[in-house]
Chains A and B, each alone.
Chain A
Amino acid sequence: MMTAQAMTPRKDAGIRFDAVGKFFGTHKVLDGITLDVPKAMTTCLIGPSGSGKSTLLRCANLLERPQEGAIFVDGTEITDSKVDLDKLRTRIGMVFQHFNLFSHLSVMDNVTLALRKVHGMKRDEAEAVAFRELEAVGLKGFERRRPSALSGGQQQRVAIARALAMKPEVMLFDEATSALDPELVKGILEVMRDLARSGITMLVVTHEMRFAREVAGQVVFMDQGKIVEQGSPDRMFDAPESPRLRYFLDQVL
């Protein structure tokens, strides 16, 4: 599905969370999170609603800033106040549950805007990149459409192409299929699976346990702001150790 050309040139980086703590007011949403997200591998974050999965993901590109601990991307501490956030974020792509496409722009401009304004590409150069990325997610011929004229699945493909066009070293997915009609979920999971196989580092929050099992190199179970258990997908799903993970899997499987 994804063309090799659109996927290859990418230097991979890992993420390390070191004793990360995050409060919203007095509510401690992340509590001493220490986690390695290895390079060139997919890590799936699972856990009940409100356990802090999205917040942890959003800390990885500092959409949320933790009050405790440190976060490293490719060995560089990003929680250091001297880090150029805008530059850092070009290395970390993010896909949201609700797509968050720029609704006043065409599909093409959604993908090229940051290439032009952040990477300083010329329009034709940026459009060449966008054509490749859009084709890779199966959206050839949709370039002139407005997001509102696309299905949810197509909108999410645009969002993925938009993120990948920046050639990130890491991709973050926050429940990328949760807002989609059931029949559209499979297609997006396929795109994500192909992407995972391309060898990019991925951190994926998902409720799709089958996807986690097939694609993840590591599964992390969170509950109440803490990592309760982590391991290989087979171990996590076949032999969960903690009662909380067992209970959670009982609920979702």
Chain B
Amino acid sequence: MSIGLERIQETFFDPVILWHSLETLVVIGLPNTILLSVLASLIGMAFGLLIATGLMASTVFVRFPCRVYVDILRGLPHILTIYLIGQGLPLAGLSIFGRDTYSYAALAIGLIEGAYMAEIFRAGLQSVERGQIEAARTLGMSSAQAFFYIMLPQGVRRVLPPLTGQFILVIKGTSLVFLLGLTVSQREIFSIAQDTAINSANLSPLTAAGLLYLALTVPMTYGVNAWERRMRMGSRSAR
């Protein structure tokens, strides 16, 4: 019994290895994970907003391709998309970022996130009351002006909490880029943990990585929930 417990402790919670791996994880892995998440999210937001407006377009020729994009990228396993884009683009001769795996990784995750964020943005934009758009049009604003000055600022504001929630998913999603093979200094949390775990024949580095991910995601999740609650209450008392 106690032998079993000890083995568990040694395998997952070896204090020396834990502590040791945590240093590399925090110094190299954490900044890379955050940088990759932010980059991918920025790409995702830009794409998402573009696709969202496309999803609301009046012509099928715009709406249809956008819908297909969203359905495909949300329907595929992320690991497959990341592999196809991250390995596939350079293989197919489309080396837009040279040999920088990191950029392909950011693009791949960004494209995936674009599909999810498109649906989030669309919901936000469509939640803006049609009456406000009509009011803008009766004042002589073009549909583009009504979109930029009325719909966009309100729609985006309303989806900030779900967008932040999506960012938490991106943080976790970046762990998949290990399969593209990163250079030593580019490794994010999971790659480092995996490498260290193999080298030390012990899983404690993965435990350390897990703790680090939780330290990022759990507070953010609670923050987002509180934020959403406050926005809901605010809008109720406002109306």
Contacts and interface: CB of A to CB of B under 8 A. Distances in A.
Interface of A: 61, 63, 86-87, 89-90, 92-94, 96, 98, 100-104, 113-114, 117-118, 146, 148-149, 159, 162-163, 166
Contact of A100 (B135, B141, B149): B135
Nearest to A110: B135
Contacts of B134: 63, 96, 100
Q: Is the interface of B mostly helix, strand, loop or mixed?
A: helix
Interface in B168-184: none
A166 B139 contact: yes
A96 B135 contact: yes
A93 B135 contact: no
Counting contact residues on chain B (CB < 8 A from A), the size range is 20 to 34
B154 interface: yes
A93 B134 CA distance: 12
B139 A98 contact: no
Given A96-B135, A102-B132, A148-B238, A114 B154 contact: no
Interface of B: 129, 131-132, 134-142, 145, 149-150, 153-154, 157, 238-239
B149 A117 contact: yes
A73 B145 CA distance: 24
Contacts, number: 69
Contacts of B153: 104
A63 B138 contact: yes
B142 A86 contact: yes
B150 A114 contact: no
Contacts of B149: 102, 113, 117
Nearest to B237: A148
Nearest to B131: A100
A89 B137 contact: yes
Contacts of A159: 135
A86 B132 contact: no
Contact of B136 (A98, A102, A146, A148): A102
B141 A118 contact: yes
B140 A114 contact: yes
A163 B239 contact: no
Contacts of A114: 136, 139-141
A113 B150 CA distance: 10
Given A98-B131, A117-B149, A104 B157 contact: yes
Contacts of A90: 139-140
5 contacts: A101-B132, A102-B150, A104-B153, A104-B157, A148-B238
